Amino acid sequence: MRVGLLADTHDRVPAVRELVETMLSKGVTLVMHAGDYCSPFSLEPFHETNVALLGIFGRNDGDPEGLKASAARGMGMELYESPHSFDVSGHRILLVHDIGEVHRRSIDAHEFVVHGFTHRQETVARGTTIVVNPGEGCGWIGGQCTCAILDLETGDVEVVTI
């Protein structure tokens, strides 16, 4: 299974739309978002493409209730407080906005950890855990909008830049 990874999209809807469409064209069936959508309207590309979304809130999500209400409009869209642990196709995944919020034991207890916050793309192995920051979906700071695609079976991570 190929899972799309996003973080730090900060209301940049055209970039989110293009990243989601690119991920879908590459066989993604689920997107995991590590927070900082900002406003409820930033979920529109997920509604338009009808892709499943599992996400957590970040520090700049100013209207969590509005985001939850927007997510409730779509099938397969769920938003949680950070951090949150998921089981996806038999793989334990921890989704957290700021990785500094979790203890090393929590990281080690998961096969994959996806985080945001720094706006810098990074993929590292910590023991048997693969830790991925897909970078900044918005591109506001670094000038490039990025996401990642995680193959749950192989552990391979593909970075996508638009």
What are the pLDDT digits (tens) for 99-131? 999 999 999 999 999 999 999 999 999 999 999
Whole-angstrom distance, CA of residue 110 vs CA of residue 4:
18
Mean pLDDT of 43-62: 96
Mean pLDDT of 32-48: 97
Percent of the chain with pLDDT over 90: 97
What is the rounded CA–CA span in Å between residue 52 and residue 114?
Answer: 17
Task: Please give the pLDDT value at position 75.
Answer: 79
pLDDT given for residue 154 in this prediction: 97
Residue 29 has pLDDT above 90, yes or no: yes
What pLDDT, on the 0 to 100 scale, is given for residue 10?
98
pLDDT above 70 coverage of the chain, percent: 100
Burial class (CB in 10 A: 0-12, 13-18, 19+), 70: buried
2-161 CATH fold: Purple Acid Phosphatase; chain A, domain 2 (3.60.21)
* Res. 74 pLDDT band, cuts 50 70 90: confident
